[in-house]
Amino acid sequence: MMINYNHSVVVFLLLSLGIFKLGLCTENQSQKNNVTVKCIQSEREALVSFKTGVIDFPGKLSSWVGEDCCKWKGVECDNESSHVTKLNLSNPAGRHRHYEYDRNDDNYPIPSDHSTLDPSTPRYNTLPKCEYCRNAGMPRKTYSRGSNVKAFVAASFSRDVKTSVKASFSGEVNKSLSGEISPYLGNLSSLTHLDVEGNYNLFTKNLDWLSSLSSLEYLYMGGVKINHTKADWLHAINMLPSLLELSLCSCQLEHLPSSLNFLNFTSLHVLDLSYNSFKTSIPQWLFNLTNLTKLDLTSSNQGGKILDSFGRLGSLKYLYLGVNHFYGSIPASIGNLSSLKELDLSYNEMNGTILESFGQLSKLVNLYLLENSWEGVITEVQLMNLKSLEEFMLTSKSQSLVFNVTENWVPPFSLKSLHLESCRIIGPKFPKWLQVQSKLTYVTLRNVGIEGTIPEEWISTISSQLTHLDLSNNQIEGNLPQQLVFPNVTKLFLQNNSFSGPIPSNISDLMPSLQYLDLSENHLYDLAENNLSGGIPDCFNNLIALVDHNTFGYEPIENYTEKAFIVTKGRAYEYDRTLQLVTCIDLSGNSLTGGIPIQITSLTRLGMLNLSMNHLNGSIPENIGNMRWLETLDLSNNRILGSIPGSLSFLTSLVHLNLSFNNLSGRIPSGNQLQTLIDATIYKGNPSLCGSPLPTKCPGDEASDGPSITGVDDKQGGDDYERIWFYASIGLGFGVGFWSVCGTLLLKKSWRHCYFRFCDDIKDRIALLIALRVVHLKRKFGLEKN
């Protein structure tokens, strides 16, 4: 019994001791977690100096108050040493974003906060889209399409179309910091990350302070003006032995030193010098950066032949040399870049052949060779080892490039995007090898010499994932296939071919996702001046973008300069930036017969309707007045019968009307907007029409001028009466509004005090902003007195 008792006491003591120690550990951990990291005073003063020297319109530095700078927004400190290690003051709206950069590649040093310092950019499934240092006065890479078109329609066959609201970046860039970067940032001796990218109003007079940041690994200064630095900018960068990533995109740099006594930042993995205007060529020391995985020299004013020395950069995975002045052939040494995943040589002046050495790039995923003067022949040899290829974009300005593969060739790759333009495909039938590409979402075969009709077997076997198909500027003929089944296609371009015959009446069923259909030389729905015949389909009410105001508009096609010449209001206008705001159906100049389908009047968002120069008969739909946004209506040169509907006067937006050369009869309606359309030629060629503005009087109209004058006088009297009530209502409204505000302030003392305090506060804020601006200008121009 005693033994059991002693045993119980021991167990109890052990449990008590364990609980006591656990409590101590928990308390110590709690105390440890509650320890506030205090930043070092000299580093806090350096940050305060930076804040003092800039204008913080976006309020990014509003949290920079108090003693502990480690709690300030954008600042991170080491928990043990309390040194500032990371400073992120970037402007996300103005960051440099290129093609997707795979930071998860093997052997790539991923920064611990890379998701913060470099936000990921989604991959685009159309042409390669690159958003460079935006709003920095640099041109975006665009792909111009379309010219001399008659008109178009933004029409959606899907209720899922997104409203296009493409805001400019001018407002976002205005949220950036402004002023001079303080050289006291050099006191942050333990800094490993410095990100001020996208602040296009920042500048620095000197980069010597960077040499004190010996631990710096990631430096992003894209958009910061460093063109007038007193010291050699590269000399300061060369003092950073730990540097892994460097972005100086759009920094207005002009000098790229041709030599260095020694190269100190050999660990560099990423170098971005794009969108600068260098006046010197690529230096040789750059090819000693053998650890580079990404090199971006896009639009950096480089020229000459592409050097063989690029072959020495064996670790390179991403190489961007687009939008420059390179000429000649692609060097064979490019084949040595066995790790290369993405290559962009677009928009240069290259005029050579596509070498067989390309076949050695077995890891290549994206290849962009747009807008050069390529020559020669591309065969299976150049493509046989490109097993990883997913995007292939190739256009030739010289039109002397031939794409020649055998009819039964099976490619080793599985493409997602293909763009071939202004070259010649040996065939000239539709390429059969495309039928085995099961992952295709984007296909452009523009101006490649395809002839004949569209084979139905090609349509039935092409990738079901296809969303974009462009077969424009070829010699395709015949009727539009009745089985043009593309369930996921949203954009279909068949313009500038030789199609004839009727439009499939069930086109909205064959392509339920269709948003854009182009059968002319435009990006949108334009069927003008073809050989189309038959009746107008009655499925126009399926054009949801023109019916439902919630889905009005369209999303501009990525990476195209959308431009169109539109005949509207009797004149041709060029639309580019506002193209997405224009909605039009143009079926003019065809051989269409039958009547105007009543369903077309449900398109309440339609802005222009042109059915002229056809063989239409029947009458104008009675409820045409429902198309309240219609600005242009042209039904001329048809065989339309009957009277002009009175609801036409309901079109208050109508500014151009043409009903000439039809068989219309009866009185011309009047009222509202029709009172402004006084040109008699818009009704000519209709001998049975009468009434103003035609000189022909309708039966029952008085022949004398007396009643007309009386009518005018009566109308004038009515107008005077309405005018009196109009001015009286203005006076009454002003009086009510004035005394509602001022009377309340006079009668209620507390409201009066609150109002005047508000006015005083606004006045003080304005005075303070003016004073700060004056001080900043005095500092900038050296006018401040000591």
**Which CATH number characterizes residue 619's domain?**
3.80.10
Task: Examine the domain organization and report whether 615 and 675 are in the same domain.
Answer: no
Residue 114 is predicted with a pLDDT of 34
Alpha carbons 182 and 522: distance in angstroms, whole number: 52
Residue 127 is predicted with a pLDDT of 32
Alpha carbons 648 and 722: distance in angstroms, whole number: 25
Token pair listed for 338: 């066995």
Token pair listed for 49: 């100096």
Alpha carbons 274 and 298: distance in angstroms, whole number: 5
Q: How far is CA 263 from the centre of its chain?
A: 39
Task: Examine the domain organization and report whether 603 and 699 are in the same domain.
Answer: no
Dihedral sign for Cα atoms in the order 635, 641, 644, 647:
negative
Residue 433 is predicted with a pLDDT of 86
Task: Examine the domain organization and report whether 575 and 669 are in the same domain.
Answer: no
Token pair listed for 697: 């009087």
Task: Examine the domain organization and report whether 596 and 702 are in the same domain.
Answer: no
Angle value at C-alpha 530, between 528 and 531, nearest 5 degrees: 140
Dmax (CA) for the chain in angstroms is 137
Burial of 288 (0-12, 13-18, 19+ CB in 10 A): middle
Task: Give the count of beta carbons closer than 10 Å to the beta carbon of residue 718.
Answer: 10
Mean pLDDT on 522-547: 56
Residue 146 is predicted with a pLDDT of 35
Higher pLDDT, 702 or 643: 643
Task: Examine the domain organization and report whether 598 and 673 are in the same domain.
Answer: no
Alpha carbons 471 and 496: distance in angstroms, whole number: 9
Cβ contact 59:177 at 8 Å: no
515 inside domain: yes
Mean pLDDT on 509-523: 65
Mean pLDDT on 399-419: 89
Task: Give the count of beta carbons closer than 10 Å to the beta carbon of residue 441.
Answer: 18
739 inside domain: no
Alpha carbons 284 and 291: distance in angstroms, whole number: 15
Residue 719 is predicted with a pLDDT of 56
Higher pLDDT, 209 or 569: 209
Q: What are phi and psi of 171, to 5 degrees?
A: -70, -35
Highest averaged pLDDT of the listed ranges 8-22, 278-292, 461-475, 559-573:
278-292
How confident is residue 107, by pLDDT bands cut at 50, 70 and 90?
very low
Task: Examine the domain organization and report whether 589 and 449 are in the same domain.
Answer: yes
Highest averaged pLDDT of the listed ranges 415-429, 495-509, 519-533, 550-564:
415-429
3-state secondary structure (DSSP) of residue 358? helix
Task: Examine the domain organization and report whether 576 and 691 are in the same domain.
Answer: no
For 361-408, how does the pLDDT look when each residue is reduced to its tens digit (9 = 90+)? Answer: 999 999 999 999 998 899 888 888 899 999 999 999 887 889 888 888
Mean pLDDT on 416-432: 84
Distance (Å) of CA 260 to CA 218, 268, 271, 283, 394? 21, 16, 17, 9, 37
Higher pLDDT, 479 or 618: 618
Burial of 116 (0-12, 13-18, 19+ CB in 10 A): middle
Q: Domain end: 711, 746, 779, which one?
A: 711
How confident is residue 163, by pLDDT bands cut at 50, 70 and 90?
very low
Alpha carbons 366 and 355: distance in angstroms, whole number: 17
Mean pLDDT on 675-679: 85
527 inside domain: yes
Mean pLDDT on 568-590: 58
For 204-259, how does the pLDDT look when each residue is reduced to its tens digit (9 = 90+)? Answer: 988 889 999 999 999 999 999 986 665 578 899 999 999 999 999 999 998 888 88
Token pair listed for 753: 């005090």
Q: How far is CA 126 from the centre of its chain?
A: 12
154 inside domain: yes
Task: Examine the domain organization and report whether 700 and 610 are in the same domain.
Answer: no
Residue 192 reports pLDDT greater than 50: yes
Distance (Å) of CA 171 to CA 135, 319, 577, 583, 615? 10, 32, 17, 27, 51
Residue 287 reports pLDDT greater than 90: yes
Average per-residue pLDDT for the chain = 77
Alpha carbons 352 and 330: distance in angstroms, whole number: 7
Residue 740 is predicted with a pLDDT of 83
Residue 337 is predicted with a pLDDT of 94
Residue 551 is predicted with a pLDDT of 42
Alpha carbons 687 and 690: distance in angstroms, whole number: 8
363 inside domain: no
Residue 31 is predicted with a pLDDT of 44
Please spell the DSSP secondary structure of 440-476, one letter per residue: --EEEEESS--EEPPPHHHHHHS-TT--EEE--SSEE
Residue 721 is predicted with a pLDDT of 66
Q: Domain end: 682, 711, 740, which one?
A: 711
Highest averaged pLDDT of the listed ranges 423-432, 445-454, 716-725:
445-454
| Owning domain of residue 704 | 661-711
Task: Examine the domain organization and report whether 521 and 569 are in the same domain.
Answer: yes
In percent, how much of the chain has pLDDT > 90? Answer: 33
Task: Examine the domain organization and report whether 586 and 702 are in the same domain.
Answer: no
Task: Give the count of beta carbons closer than 10 Å to the beta carbon of residue 504.
Answer: 18
Residue 621 reports pLDDT greater than 80: yes
3-state secondary structure (DSSP) of residue 503? coil
Task: Examine the domain organization and report whether 528 and 469 are in the same domain.
Answer: yes
Tokens 């303070």 — which residue?
A: 768
How confident is residue 709, by pLDDT bands cut at 50, 70 and 90?
very low
Q: Domain end: 679, 711, 743, which one?
A: 711
Task: Examine the domain organization and report whether 497 and 564 are in the same domain.
Answer: yes
Residue 122 reports pLDDT greater than 50: no
In the chain, how many domains are there? 2
583 inside domain: yes
Higher pLDDT, 231 or 780: 780
Angle value at C-alpha 485, between 480 and 486, nearest 5 degrees: 110
673 inside domain: yes
In percent, how much of the chain has pLDDT > 70? Answer: 72
Alpha carbons 128 and 345: distance in angstroms, whole number: 12
677 inside domain: yes
Residue 651 is predicted with a pLDDT of 87
